[in-house]
Chains A and B, each alone.
Chain A
Amino acid sequence: MKGYILKRLLRSLLSILVIITAVFIMVYSLVPRDNIFKNDDTFRKLSAKPDDKTDYIMRTWQNIGYLDYQNMSYYCTGLYGEATDETRACVLAGSKESKEFVDLYESKGYTVKYFINGAPYAYKDLPVISRLASWFGNMIQIDHPWKVKDETNPDLERRLYFGTTPTGGVALKCSGCEYKYQIYTDSRFPFIHQNILTVYLGESYPTYKGLKILDVIFDTQGQEVKKTVTFETGQTGESSIMFGTCRYKSVLDRLDQNKFTDHYASCMYKKATPSMVGISFIMGIFSIIIAYALGLPIGLAMARNKDKLIDKLGMVYIIFIIAVPSLAYIYIFRYLGTTLFGLPSAFPTLGAEDIRSWILPVISLALPSISGLMLWMRRYAVDQMSSDYVKFAKSKGLNQHEIFKNHILKNAIIPIAQGIPASLASCIVGAIITEAIYSVGGMGKMLPDAIKQYNNAMVLALTFMFAGISIISVLLGDLILIWLDPRISLTEKEGRN
Chain B
Amino acid sequence: MTTRDDLFEFAEFDETESEHIAAPRYSYWKSVWKTFIRNKFTVFTAILLIALVAFAMIQPMISGYDPMVAPNINNSSMRFLSPSKEFIFGTDNVCNSVFDAVWSGARNSLFIAFICTFINMVIGIALGAVWGFSKRLDRIMIEVYNVLSNIPFLLLAMILQYIMGAGFKSLIIAMCCTDWIFVAYFIRTHVMIIRDREYNLASKCLGTKTWTMITKNILPYLISVIMTYVSRTIPAYISYEVFLSYMGLGLGAKNASLGKLISQYTSYMNSYPHLFWIPVLILATISISLYIVGQRLSDAADPRTHM
Contact = CB atoms under 8 A, between A and B. Distances in A.
Contacts of B235: 322-323
A333 to B, nearest CB: 13
A229 B31 CA distance: 80
A238 to B, nearest CB: 42
A19 B163 CA distance: 21
B190 interface: yes
Interface of B: 135-136, 138-139, 142-143, 145-147, 149-152, 154-156, 158-159, 162-163, 189-190, 192-193, 195-197, 224-225, 228, 232, 235-236, 238-239, 242-243, 246-248, 259, 262-263, 266, 269, 276, 280, 283-288, 291-292, 304
A301 B245 CA distance: 37
B238 A474 contact: no
Nearest to B279: A328
Given A12-B143, A22-B151, A31 B158 contact: yes
A488 B280 contact: no
Contacts of A481: 189, 192-193
B266 A327 contact: yes
Given A11-B143, A327-B243, A491-B135, A383 B151 contact: no
B288 A325 contact: no
B146 A459 contact: no
B146 A323 contact: no
A257 interface: no
Contacts of A331: 266, 269
Contacts of B236: 322
B159 A471 contact: no
Contacts of A72: none
Contact of A474 (B145, B152, B285): B145
A448 B145 contact: no
Nearest to A318: B291
A244 B85 CA distance: 71
Given A12-B146, A27-B155, A415 B190 contact: yes
A490 B132 CA distance: 10
Contacts of A328: 262, 276, 280
A414 B262 CA distance: 38
A487 B287 contact: no
A15 interface: yes
A327 B242 contact: yes
**Closest A-B pairs by Cβ, 5 of them:** A323-B287, A467-B150, A15-B146, A325-B242, A325-B239
29 contacts: A8-B139, A11-B143, A15-B147, A19-B147, A19-B151, A26-B155, A27-B155, A30-B162, A323-B283, A323-B284, A325-B243, A327-B262, A327-B266, A328-B276, A375-B228, A379-B225, A386-B304, A418-B189, A447-B152, A447-B154, A451-B152, A451-B155, A466-B150, A467-B150, A481-B193, A487-B196, A488-B192, A490-B135, A491-B135
B163 A322 contact: no
A52 to B, nearest CB: 28
Contacts of B190: 415
Interface of A: 8, 11-12, 14-16, 18-19, 22-23, 26-27, 30-32, 35, 319-320, 322-328, 331, 375-376, 379, 382-383, 386, 414-415, 418, 432-433, 447-448, 451-452, 459, 462-463, 466-467, 470-471, 474, 481, 485, 487-492
Most chain A Cβ neighbours within 10 Å, of B146, B149, B283: B146
A322 B139 CA distance: 34
A327 B280 CA distance: 10
B288 A319 contact: yes
B162 A474 contact: no
A21 B135 CA distance: 27
A481 to B, nearest CB: 7
Contacts of A383: 224-225
Interface class of chain A by DSSP: helix
Contacts of A489: 196
B291 A319 contact: yes
Given A30-B163, A331-B269, A379-B225, A11 B189 contact: no
A43 B193 CA distance: 58
A447 B163 CA distance: 21
Contacts of A414: 193
A318 to B, nearest CB: 8
Contacts of B266: 327, 331
B154 A15 contact: no
B102 to A, nearest CB: 14
B162 A31 contact: yes
Given A322-B235, A325-B280, A26 B156 contact: yes
A481 B193 CA distance: 9
Nearest to A376: B228
Contacts of A418: 189
B152 A23 contact: yes
Nearest to B221: A383
A334 to B, nearest CB: 10
Contact of A325 (B147, B150, B192, B262): B262
B155 A325 contact: no
Contacts of B154: 447-448, 451
Nearest to A463: B152
A324 B243 contact: no
Given A323-B291, A487-B197, A492-B135, A463 B284 contact: no
A462 B238 CA distance: 27
A327 B246 contact: yes
A480 to B, nearest CB: 11
Given A327-B266, A487-B196, A415 B189 contact: yes
Nearest to B146: A15
B143 A459 contact: no
Contacts of A447: 152, 154
A115 B209 CA distance: 72
A268 B174 CA distance: 41
B139 A11 contact: yes
Nearest to A485: B193
Given A331-B269, A433-B246, A471 B152 contact: no
Most chain A Cβ neighbours within 10 Å, of B150, B196, B228, B248: B150
A470 B151 CA distance: 11
Contacts of B291: 319, 322-323
A490 B131 CA distance: 12
A35 B248 CA distance: 15
A375 B232 contact: yes
A462 B153 CA distance: 13
Most chain A Cβ neighbours within 10 Å, of B151, B196, B259: B151
Contacts of A324: 280, 283-284, 287
Contacts of A382: 224
Given A386-B304, A481-B189, A325 B238 contact: yes
Nearest to A30: B159
Most chain B Cβ neighbours within 10 Å, of A16, A30, A320: A30
